[in-house]
Structure 1
């Protein structure tokens, strides 16, 4: 059957699915712009999410000190209308615009920015991206709570009880003083102190407050092992005044970094660092302040409604300072997981933009003659990979991890399950000037078998049954099945697969409830560090259990290295360790597969594949190509020849 005919039949058969997906729309007036956001969002709290679906919405609801432009992703004014940078590159002074407001019409000022950063770094917020603010002076120490303080430090002690008149979900009353000493319970050894689950249980913090020494224990109750007179507290932290983020006055914010960081402005435009409304957060509390009836934001759009498993509707924020330059009045973000249904919605005019199409459809679009102008694939600064849970056997053995990495056929994966993507042998994708990523070894089945035998599993004998976890999407399932078969064929091991919906999948990943898990990462900024500092010991996004002191030191030292060439050498050395140790198994480098209607303007290809929607406009009567159609790929995308032989089980 001719490929185009097969595609037409598939579309016809599955069109019913697309129609069913939009039945919920009923008589709802269509939005000015509709796109498929691929899944239901986990949260609209910028501090606690990490996914692209969440980021697309949060980027429109909130605005940080700076924004990132639609074309080259360079920082442009946001809440701050201008900024100054010191000669040593460590101090940034931001001058906030006086007309910045929250969506309820209340003014936004420098103190809101300080509150939001303090909340972001607060260990009780559980922000997975908190490490992105560790570039701030003492940012890391503040996030580490009791682990980050030493005698002589100025500290803040958050009590269990809240101050009189405080909002329901405000912090506990905060006392400030100087940490005099830390007393350890009798009979406690270093191993017990190093246990993160027991660390504070055995320590008493002696703090001088107004000339009086007071004793504090972290917890709701004081244990019997504590000295007499000890008081319970929620946490002991470095005083936030010691962190390099402060309000000089109502409309001036100063940030002081540990060392020069060339991408600091880009990070400030990254959605997790967006400000949140203190009154809203502390009135309604976790899980409730982001509800439609409660949420207060400051971006180009505000939340109009959220229908679970259907859509989020955004409406232009009348209080946004730059509202006159926002063309769209309404945006709908659909939560359709099935990519075929998503494509059908696009083809039938129900959707103006889809973030990706299935590999099967992408292949047809690649080969279309004449080319489809609304399909413009481009390189992305992102990698698709698997990680191993090194806290479980047999993945605690580097030989096992190396064997598994050597036994996969990336060419078979990209030609069978992908469309235009390139096989990956490194964590950092190509495309960055001056940086060549060190690679892991390509497929070598003979060597893989040798390593597995050295680890005690000759020809797979005795190897426990393992499981690949992925979030549901057809491509993820296809890849998981391919790798399962390759490992069985090449190593003789028994592998199962398991899929979970997005929220459960994220929870399982974070809690290390997996053997092998599908992951992907699009760089938060265009620098190899964005792909590598994920894997430092204890990193919020490092759910592998892997730890390497030399790797950690290289990442840390690179952050303080002023010489650009030496810094990249350090990062390359770190990536070499990562590829050798193998907690991460790169599979392919991403290529965007967006489709965009020709009447949408203001949308550009870029390496990050992030596209602010506030810049878009609809011009149905325009005669020329839009920016998407006119954009040039950053690097050439070529289709690999498809294999004709079937993969054996």
Structure 2
């Protein structure tokens, strides 16, 4: 079956292990260590070059941006920035950074770290996949596309160590939300430049023993295709509220294998639940399966250069013939929402009324 868009709001199914027998997860639980199935092996842990979900999970533990995502999907919460002011015209943001925010080596996190990180992310030579996250910033797009090479013309300034000023081209009410994305997070300049240039790819700064982060955890171990371990950082500004001592991310690129590892007590959490297991899990363990909104758009592409798909009316007819709700209710069964647009439904944003 070919769909224009099958799913726009994908449900993440998280099942918490409930085995009471002695197992790896029960032992880890006693030591406040969390075992997570994390999909494929991360390609890197550079926030300015990676694009994958597995990488994003780990970077959430290692680095913190100006704001962080709300666990229930509401407005972003303060991160390194304890507060911010927005000008009346909606184009100037002043972020006030915490005095207590530090890197894992004890260096203070300052506004200059964000200026450096955003410059790096926007450098054409780095080849970041998400530079458009900052295109609302004055001259960010021009710098990224090589139209200007003077970064001082870009609308991000260090007013003082604790104040970062960002100037936008136009008002963008969604801008704060964009800053929760990992690609806008700071990086430790001295560490990056110790192992290469600002725009070096495959830089060794992301390896255990080298990585200097500002998040709630530090990178302790990375065994290829085995496990990535992060440990609670005592230098994190909000360390008292971090209840876990460690998180172990297991790279598993096979959904059936991950489900088997979960059921055998090797994982506390899995977000990869085979479709055929969702129904039985909901019936047998209703308190241990959690379905939450997850922004993602999955679709099939048409070759619109060949007949009959080069006819817009044919494509519209195919779209109208698909009962999305039936697919969700009878096949997927994971709490997905029918997709009628590439833009996922969001109560705080525009959603087109079309049903094609």
- State the Cα distance separating 1:376 from its structure 2 match: 2.6
- State the Cα distance separating 1:301 from its structure 2 match: 0.5
The 5 Å alignment of 1:374-393 reads 374-387=288-301
The 5 Å alignment of 1:316-395 reads 316-368=232-284, 372-387=286-301, 394=306
* Secondary structure of residue in 2 paired with 1:289: helix
> Which of 395, 399, 405 is equivalent to 2:311?
399
Residue in structure 2 matched with residue 428 of structure 1 by the alignment: 343
Query: Take 1:114 and 1:326, find their aligned partners in 2: how far apart are those partners?
Result: 28
- State the Cα distance separating 1:425 from its structure 2 match: 3.0
Residue in structure 1 matched with residue 84 of structure 2 by the alignment: 83
* Secondary structure of residue in 1 paired with 2:215: coil
- State the Cα distance separating 1:372 from its structure 2 match: 1.8
In proportion to residue count, which structure has more helix? 1
- State the Cα distance separating 1:402 from its structure 2 match: 5.5
Query: How many residues were matched structurally?
Result: 321
Query: Take 2:47 and 2:312, find their aligned partners in 1: how far apart are those partners?
Result: 38
- State the Cα distance separating 1:115 from its structure 2 match: 0.5
CA distances 1:373-409 after superposition (whole Å, capped 9, x unpaired): 011324433322124577xx649x7438954982885
Residue in structure 2 matched with residue 270 of structure 1 by the alignment: 181
Higher relative contact order (CA 8 A, sep 6+): 2
Query: Take 1:434 and 1:261, find their aligned partners in 2: how far apart are those partners?
Result: 12
CA distances 1:448-469 after superposition (whole Å, capped 9, x unpaired): xxxxxxxxxxxxxxxxxxxxxx
CA distances 1:314-361 after superposition (whole Å, capped 9, x unpaired): 101122111122111100111112222222322233211111311100
Residue in structure 2 matched with residue 447 of structure 1 by the alignment: none
- State the Cα distance separating 1:31 from its structure 2 match: 6.3
* Secondary structure of residue in 2 paired with 1:124: coil
Residue in structure 2 matched with residue 50 of structure 1 by the alignment: 51
Query: Take 1:334 and 1:30, find their aligned partners in 2: how far apart are those partners?
Result: 18
TM-score, structure 2 as length reference? 0.81
Query: Take 1:349 and 1:314, find their aligned partners in 2: how far apart are those partners?
Result: 20
Structure 1 contact 394–400 (Cα < 8 Å) conserved = no
Structure 2 contact 209–219 (Cα < 8 Å) conserved = no
Structure 1 contact 31–332 (Cα < 8 Å) conserved = no
Structure 1 contact 410–423 (Cα < 8 Å) conserved = no
The 5 Å alignment of 1:118-197 reads 118-145=119-146, 148-149=147-148
CA distances 1:144-186 after superposition (whole Å, capped 9, x unpaired): 10xx24xxxxxxxxxxxxxxxxxxxxxxxxxxxxxxxxxxxxx
After superposition, the CA RMSD in angstroms is 2.9
List gaps (5 residues or longer) in structure 2.
1-22
Structure 1 contact 61–298 (Cα < 8 Å) conserved = yes
Residue in structure 1 matched with residue 8 of structure 2 by the alignment: none
- State the Cα distance separating 1:91 from its structure 2 match: 0.9
- State the Cα distance separating 1:78 from its structure 2 match: 1.7
- State the Cα distance separating 1:90 from its structure 2 match: 1.1
Moved more, 372-381 or 321-330: 372-381
Query: Take 2:281 and 2:109, find their aligned partners in 1: how far apart are those partners?
Result: 47
- State the Cα distance separating 1:438 from its structure 2 match: 4.3
Query: Take 1:268 and 1:344, find their aligned partners in 2: how far apart are those partners?
Result: 36
Query: Take 1:260 and 1:335, find their aligned partners in 2: how far apart are those partners?
Result: 41
The 5 Å alignment of 1:483-562 reads none
Are positions 1:111 and 2:27 aligned together?
no
List gaps (5 residues or longer) in structure 1.
1-18, 150-236, 442-649
Query: Take 2:118 and 2:264, find their aligned partners in 1: how far apart are those partners?
Result: 44
